[in-house]
Amino acid sequence: MNESKPSLLLVDGMALLFRAYFATAMSGQFMINSKGIPTNGVYGFVKHFLTAVSSFNPTHVAVCWDMGSKTFRTEMFDGYKANRPEAPIELVPQFGLVKEVVEAFDVPNIGLEGYEADDCIGTIARKASQDAEVLILTGDQDILQLLDDNISVILLQKGYGNYLVHTTETFYEEKGITPKQMIDLKAFMGDTSDNYPGVKGIGEKTALKLLQQFEHIEGVLENLEQLTKGQRAKIEQDLEMLHLSRQLAEIKCDVPVECPLDLAQFTMNREKVIEKFTEIEFRGLHRFLDFKKEYA
């Protein structure tokens, strides 16, 4: 990382909160405080958040959130994410609480109705990467399409402090395609977690081969006669869904949100954070605050 350049850590808040919640909810550890509020998701979120800040030492930090399940994608395709269950009842009160905790760190919470956190992350990352090194912290591989010269993606692995850091180079080494081609890859493959089908019968292996050979969807469609009979029939049958899936897969990078760097400077006030921890009845998190001795 370029030391003289500012570095902005963009956190996918939902990815961290859900991961933390489910890691403990399975065994019923909801950590209900004296006010009757479950706090397990927020507690784990803070651990993930502070471990990453300590590991990557960014100068600036912001957290992005989904703002409800209705977005421009659900308007385009009724089935989009329709397979996802309602949020568990113990998690619901933690959505507001986690944002209060982020505020206690003087870190901006960013989200916009009608768009997903990914779209906010993409928009801010593109703009900020002109002046800063951008690091995106998430558990979601979809965000790899945003990789660029000054944009890296930190994928959370099992446990705390285990990361897989991707750059444009490592992505190409692993997949043999560019990050931008990942949008077309998902258009062919579909996405079971987001619940859109892509082209039925075309999996990752075939899709990667097609994109390595013909570069993008248009290239494949222009060269259908070179494909096997089976591949051609599948694509022709699902042509409309292929185009729709590409629109669903692409992260929008022109959403009306902004995060000026000066508002995202990470200058944690330790007392303010500890006060919030005490109010929520968090124990054992203070030690995670000691990585930056110069902060008040």
pLDDT at 293: 45
Task: Report DSSP letters for 215-246, one per residue.
Answer: SSHHHHHHTGGGS-HHHHHHHHHTHHHHHHHH
Going edge to edge, which strands form the sheet with 7-12?
A: 109-110, 60-64, 7-12, 133-138, 151-156, 163-166
pLDDT at 82: 92
Question: What pLDDT band is residue 292 in, cutting at 50, 70 and 90?
Answer: low
Question: What pLDDT band is residue 286 in, cutting at 50, 70 and 90?
Answer: confident
**Fold of the domain built from segment(s) 177-249:** DNA polymerase; domain 1 (1.10.150)
Do you know the residue count of the chain? 296
Question: What pLDDT band is residue 3 in, cutting at 50, 70 and 90?
Answer: low
pLDDT digits (tens, 9 = 90+) for 68-111: 889 999 999 999 999 998 899 999 999 999 999 999 999 999 99
pLDDT at 295: 44
| DSSP-derived pairing of the beta strands 133-138 and 7-12 | parallel
Q: What is the pTM of this model?
A: 0.94
pLDDT at 66: 96
Question: What pLDDT band is residue 251 in, cutting at 50, 70 and 90?
Answer: very high
Rounded mean pLDDT of the chain? 94
pLDDT digits (tens, 9 = 90+) for 37-61: 999 999 999 999 999 999 999 999 9
Question: What pLDDT band is residue 143 in, cutting at 50, 70 and 90?
Answer: very high
Q: Please state which CATH number belongs to domain 7-174+252-289.
A: 3.40.50.1010
Residue ranges of the domains in the chain?
A: 7-174+252-289, 177-249
The stretch 105-118 carries a mean pLDDT of 97
Helical packing angle, 92-104 and 13-25, nearest 10°: 120
